[in-house]
Amino acid sequence: MSARRGRSRILTALRRLRLHWLRATQPVLGPYRSRWRRSLMFRTMTITGLITGFMVLVAGLFILSSVGGDLYSSRKDQALQDSARATLAAQRQIDASDAVDRGGLSNLAVTVRRTVQDSSSSQMVYLRRQPGQPAFAEAPPPSTTDMKLREAVSADLASAVARGDAPQHWQAVTLTDDTGKSSPGIVVASSLTFPAGAGTYDLFIGYDLSDTQSTLNFVQRTLLITAAAMMAFIGILVWVMSRFAFRPIRAAADTSRKITAGESDARMPRMNDEHFDVLSDGFNDMADTLQARITELDTLSEMQQRFVSDVSHELRTPLTTIRLASEVLQGSAGDLGPVNQRAVEVLNGQVERFESLLTDLLEISRYDAGRVTLETEPTNLVALANEVVGSLQPLSAGVIEVRAMGGYVPVEVDARRIRRIVSNLVGNAIEHGEGKPIVVALDSNASAVALTVRDWGIGMAAADVEHVFDRFWRADPSRKRTLGGTGLGLAIAQEDAAVHGGTIEAWSRIGVGTVFRLTLPRTDGVTSYMSPLPLIPEDVDAGGDPKATGGWLRRPGRRIRKEGRR
């Protein structure tokens, strides 16, 4: 258990660290992350640049290491050869000397230093008697031509010379002068045997490698400049190649965007490449086929709309004649028998329904043809709802209650169409409310006004709610109608709301009831708004529906012509 808690704490700490890192780097890396997710070209260029940069870095480090190693090795070999030559010359000078006293040995030491300086390419010489030898009063003291060489000699190098296991020993050192300036160097150590019991002396020759370091620095700068130029050239090359490689993709995207915007004649150009040309030809063939199908569907739709409109107009004349005949029969129904009177009543009812159906068909054809004109006027929706409810209350077996929490301020709407919407919604509630009470609620906020119609009737399933605004659709075709109806009421109501920039939404649950919500923007300048009334009743669980409490709605974009009333 303790181990599990420990792992949990570690994971929590890592998550917090990652969150802090993301927050800290968001201002700097945020735009690049967004560009990385959205652009394939940016990802390609970035990956290519990183791989190329890594390769250039590895190659530069390898070249710099090789050149530096070769320079240092050659300079070291040169120093060892130079030191060996100077040491041999110095030992021959000593062997040829017959000095035995202090003065002679001191002069010999000075002569040896000069011989070393003359025989080698270095002027830094340090000569001292090897430690651990018996005391000899006549031995010359240590002498050096440069103090920085004396300070650079380490104990390890002195011990190696004292052991005498090799004629030469060397060590890489850092030479620091009186001003504090440092430079790399090599100290080569060897031994000289002085006469007259003076013993063995250590000879240290220092070689300044500042010229080698300058050469290496020059090579390093040259490599850096070359790498930077190469990276810039490769970046430009990758950018140009990416532009060429992604040009067909951009052309396809631009063409599809134009087609989506309505330019049906937009086509993808050929790219003079066998693979991309196959893509272009296939895309253009698809666009041609799509345009042909769209044109065909538009033609069929236009023919259908014209047919419905023409039939509706043509049926007006015989319908008027039939209505006149039915009215004549209705006037003389008192002289007819019971069977004939019933036939006259049925005829009158069907004529009225036929006339209502023709009216709805004409209205739908106007919406389909885009020939809708709004006659707006300041309208009090509370007064309008009370008027509609008062006219429909006698048809309802239950009480219809109007609850107005807002909506008293007049709004510019087409009162006839809004009245038709409310009549359709209340009529549907009466039709399916099972004689239970009906509540019509109104409210408003700064951007919108809403009206809901709630009944506690049989309700509908979720699959039926999706089709409730379809034309001629009925949830239960076998159910007997109370108010008649043509099956186009809710479809027309939805169109009426859309031309005002509003929406109609439905919620229903079997055995619980149904709610219809009409939401209208207060002014024409409002493009998005929040409905002031919830779609799902407060006594019902919303079930995670974001529209339950009045979510943000987008105003539909429909071009209409408005006429204001004075």
Instruction: State residue 566's pLDDT score.
Output: 37
Counting every residue, how long is the chain? 566
pLDDT of amino acid 165: 79
Q: What is the pLDDT along the chain (566 residues), one digit of tens a residue?
A: 556 666 677 777 777 776 666 566 656 555 666 777 777 777 777 888 888 888 888 888 888 888 888 888 888 888 889 889 988 988 888 888 877 777 777 888 888 888 888 888 888 888 888 887 787 777 788 888 888 888 888 888 888 888 877 888 898 888 887 777 888 888 998 888 888 677 888 889 988 888 888 888 888 888 889 888 888 888 888 888 877 777 777 777 788 888 778 777 788 788 777 777 887 888 888 888 888 888 887 777 677 667 666 666 676 677 677 777 777 767 776 667 777 777 777 777 777 777 766 666 666 666 666 667 778 889 999 999 999 999 888 888 888 899 999 888 888 888 888 998 899 899 888 888 888 999 999 999 988 999 999 999 888 888 888 888 887 776 555 555 544 556 677 888 888 888 888 889 999 998 889 999 999 998 877 778 888 999 888 877 655 444 444 455 555 544 444 455 43
How far is it, in rounded angstroms, from Cα 537 to Cα 506?
12
Alpha helices in 261-337 (DSSP H): 274-331
**In angstroms, what CA-CA distances link 444 with 375, 406, 504?**
22, 5, 15
Residues contacting 277, CB < 8 A, separation 6+: 270, 271
Q: What share of the chain in percent tops pLDDT 70?
A: 81
Backbone angles phi, psi at 196, to 5 degrees: 60, 35
465 CB burial (10 A radius; 0-12, 13-18, 19+): middle
CA distance 413 to 520: 9
Residue 554: the pLDDT is 53
pLDDT tens digits for 511-544? 889 999 999 998 877 778 888 999 888 877 655 4
Average of per-residue pLDDT values in the chain? 79
| pLDDT of the residue at 557 | 47
d(CA 6, CA 12): 10
Task: Dig out the tokens for 147 from the structure.
Answer: 């103090």
Residues 6 or more apart in contact with residue 93 via CB below 8 angstroms: 108, 111, 112, 115
Q: What separation in angstroms does the CA of 276 have from each of 41, 155, 238, 251, 271?
A: 17, 75, 20, 11, 6
Which residue, among 419, 425, 396, 441, has the nearest Cα to 514 in the 3D structure?
Answer: 425
pTM recorded for the entire structure: 0.48
- pLDDT given for residue 161 in this prediction: 85
